Structure 1
Amino acid sequence: MFFSVGVETPKDENTAYGMIVPAFSAYDYGCFSAADTQDQIAPMVKEAILMVVEDLVQNNNVSVEDIKDAGYLVYSVNPEYKDFDSWVMVDVDLSEFEGKPQRINVSLPDTLIKRIDNAVKSSGAYRDRSHFIAEAARHELKQ
């Protein structure tokens, strides 16, 4: 999942980059991090996001599918985030919080399986056939 991350640029060499992930404010959570260098921004904020998601899932019965990010265009115009002069999108794999994978036996027409496999190969958005089917199921269950 992609998260919008506000980045506050340090004012001097003794100050770190400050980061915020506003998506969690919908759950009355703050998600903050800091990094000494630009190349540490993504790993440090990913660690913070994973810790917040873990707590949301374990202690607040929030499903990973319920977590939404409104996008940096929404957050960047919010006066609450005026100190964050840059915005980046960080991709964080939340699959570890979705539960234990289980094997099931599903029968599908061979032509449909070929179409799924072609979509997996061509899009790059899916890890494999199972990931494709899981994403399609999530999409249908949201409606």
Structure 2
Amino acid sequence: MRFPIYLHKTDSDSYSGFAPDIDGCFFAGKTVDDTILDAAEAIHVHLETLADSNMPIPETKGIESYLQAEACQGGIWAFVDIDVSKYDGKAVKLNITLPQHLLTRIDRFVESHKEFSSRSGFLAELARRELAKA
């Protein structure tokens, strides 16, 4: 999942920022690259804490949702890509039945969209998106 992050330069010429989709997720660094690396670590810590407390992983709203926010003016935006599947708990193997044509279409889609590492990853991501809407 791609989490948007907002960065701004501080008075000491370093950077700090936050992930607007994750309450209380702040990070900092000497350079933009360092700050993005710290953002990834901060997001992982927050998601681990949520998972340990059986809380849902927040869905991202995208940068557009925050462009007019007062706290998001004069800085820069970036994304941190986080594999949220590790916060869903232990993988469980199951047997499902799908029509052959649908399965073929899913496999072709996954093959051309590398962000989904597998058929299972694709189905899990779609399930996460739908459940987040509920």
When the two structures are superposed, what TM-score results if normalisation uses the length of structure 1? Answer: 0.78
List aligned pairs for 1:57-72, cutoff 5 A: 57-59=51-53, 61-64=54-57, 67-72=58-63
- 1:51 pairs with 2:20: no
- 1:74 pairs with 2:68: no
Q: Take 2:129 and 2:63, find their aligned partners in 1: how far apart are those partners?
A: 23
Aligned residue pairs total 133
Q: Which has the larger radius of gyration?
A: 1
List aligned pairs for 1:93-132, cutoff 5 A: 93-132=83-122
Q: Percent identity?
A: 33
Q: Which runs of 5+ in 1 are unaligned?
A: none
Q: Take 2:83 and 2:93, find their aligned partners in 1: how far apart are those partners?
A: 21
State the match for 1:34 in structure 2.
Answer: 28
Runs of 4+ aligned residues of structure 1 deviating over 3 Å after TM superposition are 136-143
State the match for 1:85 in structure 2.
Answer: 75
Give the C-alpha shift of residue 18 in structure 1: 0.6
Q: Take 1:98 and 1:107, find their aligned partners in 2: how far apart are those partners?
A: 23
Aligned residue identity for 1:97? Y
> Which structure has more helix as a fraction of its residues?
1
Q: Which runs of 5+ in 2 are unaligned?
A: none
When the two structures are superposed, what TM-score results if normalisation uses the length of structure 2? Answer: 0.83
